[in-house]
Structure 1
């Protein structure tokens, strides 16, 4: 009993003597920023203790009541939430404010400190190492994978017949196949074997991440690792890390065997590698490891797993929402059909080329408009490492967490009139000219923007071309019946239901 009293006394002393003065100082600096009333210790946690599908409405209500910039508290931690382009520009364009917020910490167990989570010099160095992975020639080589996996995808859609079905999981399996092969050079056959250990683990670990994020009592590592969900998470990690480690080990052995063979034939080590084996991002990582002894196998695994995480969930969300929006807007869908028919004629089987992608102008506008209405990542979190002065003179203190609420920025009626309307013409060149450069942030912006955005746009075009070259798509539900989950990835709560008819 004595130790319990001592522990409670210690915690209270820490809160009163250390945390309370810090909070009062911080509050004084932010006194001009409005926000919802916060309770002692809990902050605004009760405001957010609602169903997952209602969280978005809470934030939209805060914006309505307090304007495009407000403060809120989760526990005793203050947050400033921004919903305007000018503030977003000041934060995202900074070369120093690049540290991700604590919201991403729950991904450390899986992704370590890869490109998504790293900070400071490590992030700058790693970004420089990985940028060549998205060179035009390498992206062109990946087109073969896109086409092959989309042929499987087409067969899966044909198998649905005329029955209504949820398009989201079907698209997700295809993006998982694509990202696995382009990242690791290994096929997982997710579309044919959706019940494999690896496929189930990568699905489940994403769900567990969201589950933990929404439950503050599981934020403690000590409690999380002892919970049932935490133990399940540990099993998923063993499967995912074990698979990635195995692929890395086998890939290194393949490269060594090929190098030894080429040396025996009197050829330079890289001749064969450049022409035959640069089939995956993993190869570039292993090349970087050969040139940089500080890049360990664990670092290679971090980046490989990061590509897996960032490359399938975000793209599947983008393709799914755009497909659904086109199913609700038949006049726009007809324009997509016409554009694709002009490119491919009546040939439903010819593979997509880079030249074809360049001609898909209207489809690209549809993708961009889909990402405006439903950005795959609806918000971005940053932890300020130094004071930052905004345009209106407000000085944000160091160490505070800020959220850039992309979903709200994309609905600014001054920039996007009638913002809920699906209008791809907004992204025609003449329409987009003069628009604030930070009013549209589907891939973030500034130095920490998405390194794979060209890859993602190519993949989305090939997948959507596969759908609309071959099918007429009709919505099987109304937009107002779709509950939106505004989490790390923008998802529908109960799927996106459509019917498809062969053209």
Structure 2
């Protein structure tokens, strides 16, 4: 015993010394990069704002503080994170087939989303992407249009019950609509969220988003044992129970229904049907199904509802743009009540408006990638092991690519105005081989919901643009709710 204790202490001291040496070597290698003052081991932990609004202000401030080149180094604890925020600088990362691993922050999503197409490392991601790509085929997506139309009409009916001067919390009503859509399309189950009150699933999604973002900025909370002892950790566990119980129940029910029908799939198929067919054929196991369904549920309603909220807010602040969108919708749809595939392809200006909203407020503001090999960025050799923070929010505000970048102007996305723009100047769904697999689904859904809303109502924003303060969580949300007022444009037809 007298020999073991000194040996353990010596080994521990040696490991700590080695890690400290590696850390100091990395700091030396990166010292010439733009960066605010930081300290060994704790990095910028002593100055990082813990609240989402304060953190977002700091991140945006870095863009103004270091405009050339548009990159700066941040230390999250002992880990170096190089933030990139120009089309030129992010291009080598997005166009590479080597740097496909997500950063360390995605590990914090695994208790919720498992090892899914969003969180998996590149070795696991490649076969998952290959398997799942056919489930987003155009022929499958267009079969979802009746669901998009039906739920959009329910949303319109709900809006009809409001008084002329009544203010509506945009995100709350849109979220329930997108939740109904993703449940029916991804899991084949109608849950009637728009017709219910106090939806527990929505509360859990929003709460766990806040908790994960807060935890990401505090390295002391990355250890699960320590985190689970805190109040946030206990709330996190409660959210996980709600989220997983919901999807597990639906998966079991859907599997039993398919088994009773001997897996004879007829009519419109949900994503879950296709995943369970893969389980039956041995291409996937049930753990994978749970992970992918949880991921579809999160990405398929939370990001889309937030994107729609920002688009409605911007159109409500720009009535002249809103009128142009409405004129196009009236011309394209005529007397038709439902949006068709043919209609969608002709909604050119609506698409420009939605893209411009995504430029100003990309649903996911920052994505991370882990550098798997040395990489030259902006003429500087960045060593393996650095995590890149690809700041889409600031890439979309690069003045070299966007004139008056803070101005809402859908005309930017007209074909004649997009010719000279760099490929990676607009990347709301990420880019490269690891881009968002559901981006076509999301844009179709947004078009249908906006078409129904704007054909039936004029939308007026209650808050002016400068009065709304965004905060940076996993998703860009407003600090306080955004409201709108509606006035009818035409008689409402029952769904």
Instruction: State the TM-score bracket (shorter-chain normalisation).
Output: over 0.9
Q: Distance in 2 between matches of 1:10 and 1:359?
A: 71
Q: Is the 8 A contact 1:190 1:199 kept in 2?
A: no
Shift of 1:187: 1.6
Q: Distance in 2 between matches of 1:340 and 1:390?
A: 44
Structure 2 residue 173 is matched with structure 1 residue 151: no
Q: Is the 8 A contact 1:194 1:200 kept in 2?
A: no
Secondary structure of the residue aligned to 1:231 is helix
- Unpaired runs of 5+ residues, structure 2, are 490-495
Alignment of 1:244-283 (within 5 A): 244-259=247-262, 272-273=264-265, 275-276=266-267, 278-283=268-273
Shift of 1:36: 0.4
Which range moved further: 197-206 or 404-413? 197-206
Shift of 1:9: 7.2
The number of residue pairs the alignment matches comes to 483
Aligned to 1:263: none
Aligned to 2:349: 362
Shift of 1:486: 2.0
Equivalent residue in structure 1 for 2:338, among 351, 359, 370 = 351
Q: How big is each residue's C-alpha offset from its partner over 1:259-316, in whole Å with a ceiling of 9 and x where there is no partner?
A: 2xxxxxxxxx6xx41x32x4211111112222335x2111110001010111111101
Aligned to 1:372: 359
Q: Distance in 1 between matches of 2:410 and 2:12?
A: 56
Aligned to 1:57: 57
Aligned to 1:262: none
Aligned to 1:266: none
Equivalent residue in structure 1 for 2:330, among 332, 336, 341 = 341
Shift of 1:359: 1.1
Secondary structure of the residue aligned to 1:40 is coil
Alignment of 1:435-450 (within 5 A): 435-450=421-436
Q: Distance in 2 between matches of 1:56 and 1:229?
A: 21
- Unpaired runs of 5+ residues, structure 1, are 260-268
Aligned to 1:43: 43
Q: Is the 8 A contact 1:173 1:194 kept in 2?
A: no
Q: Is the 8 A contact 2:187 2:270 kept in 1?
A: yes
Shift of 1:243: 2.4
Q: Distance in 2 between matches of 1:475 and 1:365?
A: 20
Shift of 1:16: 5.0
Q: Is the 8 A contact 2:210 2:473 kept in 1?
A: no
Question: What TM-score, normalized to structure 2?
Answer: 0.93
Shift of 1:65: 2.3
Aligned to 1:77: 79
Q: Distance in 1 between matches of 2:136 and 2:448?
A: 17
Q: Distance in 1 between matches of 2:437 and 2:193?
A: 25
Q: Distance in 1 between matches of 2:332 and 2:11?
A: 68
Aligned to 2:229: 226
Structure 2 residue 399 is matched with structure 1 residue 413: yes
Alignment of 1:155-194 (within 5 A): 155-161=157-163, 162-194=165-197
Alignment of 1:14-53 (within 5 A): 16-49=16-49, 51-53=51-53
Distance 1:301 1:50, change over 3 A: closer
Secondary structure of the residue aligned to 1:191 is helix
Q: Distance in 2 between matches of 1:39 and 1:380?
A: 25
Question: What TM-score, normalized to structure 1?
Answer: 0.91
Distance 1:28 1:447, change over 3 A: same
Shift of 1:216: 4.1
Aligned to 2:493: none
Aligned to 2:492: none
Q: Distance in 2 between matches of 1:33 and 1:172?
A: 41
Q: Is the 8 A contact 2:168 2:485 kept in 1?
A: yes
Which 4+ stretches in 1 moved above 4 angstroms? 8-12
Distance 1:399 1:40, change over 3 A: closer
Aligned to 1:238: 241
Distance 1:72 1:11, change over 3 A: farther
Distance 1:198 1:496, change over 3 A: closer
Q: How big is each residue's C-alpha offset from its partner over 1:205-230, in whole Å with a ceiling of 9 and x where there is no partner?
A: 33332343344443221121122222
Q: Distance in 2 between matches of 1:307 and 1:369?
A: 24
Q: Cα RMSD between the aligned structures?
A: 2.2
Secondary structure of the residue aligned to 1:367 is helix
Shift of 1:81: 0.5
Q: Distance in 1 between matches of 2:46 and 2:325?
A: 45
Shift of 1:94: 1.1
Aligned to 1:137: 139
Distance 1:37 1:252, change over 3 A: same
Secondary structure of the residue aligned to 2:343 is helix
Structure 2 residue 444 is matched with structure 1 residue 458: yes
Q: Distance in 2 between matches of 1:203 and 1:188?
A: 18
Structure 2 residue 101 is matched with structure 1 residue 99: yes
Structure 2 residue 198 is matched with structure 1 residue 212: no
Q: Is the 8 A contact 1:318 1:376 kept in 2?
A: yes
Structure 2 residue 303 is matched with structure 1 residue 314: yes
Q: Is the 8 A contact 2:103 2:370 kept in 1?
A: yes
